[in-house]
Amino acid sequence: MNAETTSRQPILAIEHVAVHFGGLIAISDMNFHVGEGELVSLIGPNGAGKTTAFNVITGFLKPTKGRVTFRGTSLNGLKPHEVTSLGLVRTFQRTSVFDKITVFENVLIGLHRRTAASLFGTLMSLPKERNAEAALREQAWEILKLVGIDHQADELGGSLPYGDQRLLGVALALAADPSALLLDEPVSGMNASETARFVSLLNKLRAKGKTILLVEHDMPMVMGVSDRIVVLNYGRIIANGTPSEIQNDPEVIQAYLGQGVKHA
């Protein structure tokens, strides 16, 4: 089941990518696409190559061979910030927020990173910069409302409960104005209610047309949100299909899901 099953226009293409670390083959031949507005999950056992794949796509690691393209532009050789500037933004397994400033200030800093607003002009309260700052503050509120933590805007980033810190991490990613998001185990460590809130956020992002590539171990969540699932095992893709196809694929069940999870 390795044929592409999406009919949507592909915007992210991973074409025959391999990653070798000396004699170790982390990824042997990875080949799949993500369509416009699609939510694709990349799953597999620990060590299957999922995070390596994310690192290649986002410029943290160079492939040994193959190429990655986003909206027709090759990402090979680009630095992470250059990939981000194209509209492809990732989150990380570890929560990355600014602990000592407020939630609102976290998002405002993220917005400032992608604008040309002059810090000097802002400090001097020049009219152009004042208007730009007001617009950024409005955007920050919109992002916080979207992710559902606007009521915690005045709390320190480091004081938030774990699940809310993960939501703040997504808010920081959204501040970069991505058209596509790569989410690396976003609900890892969350309880059931926190996971449900995150699923709600995913649905909102999809309604806004965001393209999402997700790495996650929570199989009920993956099966419930994905348009398509790509399964990695020992650095190679063993299946690519809809959730129902993946749940009933004998090779996937043997390698990863297990008989008990088949009907999860």
Q: What is the mean pLDDT of each run of 10 residues along the chain (264 residues)?
A: 58 95 90 95 89 93 95 94 93 79 92 62 59 85 95 93 90 92 90 91 92 93 95 92 92 71 39
Residues of the chain with CATH 3.40.50.300: 10-97+177-261
Q: Which is it for strands 65-70 and 10-21: parallel, antiparallel or unpaired? A: antiparallel
Strand order in the sheet with 236-241: 73-74, 65-70, 10-21, 24-35, 236-241, 228-233, 39-43, 211-215, 180-184, 88-90
| Cα–Cα distance measured from residue 97 to residue 107, given in angstroms and rounded to the nearest whole number | 9
So what's the pLDDT on residue 37?
93
Phi, psi of 216 (to 5 degrees): -160, 150
Domain at 10-97+177-261, CATH homologous superfamily:
P-loop containing nucleotide triphosphate hydrolases (3.40.50.300)
Which helix (H) or strand (E) is 179 found in, with range?
none
Count Cβ atoms below 10 Å from residue 242 Cβ, excluding itself. 15
So what's the pLDDT on residue 263?
36
| Cα–Cα distance measured from residue 89 to residue 87, given in angstroms and rounded to the nearest whole number | 6
Q: Kindly provide the residue ranges of all beta strands, DSSP E only, lying in 159-225, ordered along the sequence.
A: 180-184, 211-215
So what's the pLDDT on residue 204?
93
Q: What is the pTM of this model?
A: 0.85
Coil, strand or helix: which one is 14? strand
End-to-end distance of the chain based on CA atoms, in angstroms? Answer: 20
Cα pseudo-dihedral 72, 76, 81, 83, rounded to 10: 20
So what's the pLDDT on residue 22?
87
> For residue 180, which amino acid is it?
A
So what's the pLDDT on residue 115?
59
| Cα–Cα distance measured from residue 171 to residue 160, given in angstroms and rounded to the nearest whole number | 14
Residues 9 and 38: beta-carbon distance below 8 Å: no
| Cα–Cα distance measured from residue 227 to residue 35, given in angstroms and rounded to the nearest whole number | 10
CA 209 vs. chain centroid, Å, equals 14
So what's the pLDDT on residue 86?
94
In angstroms, the Cα distances linking 193 to 85, 197, 219, 223 are 33, 6, 16, 17
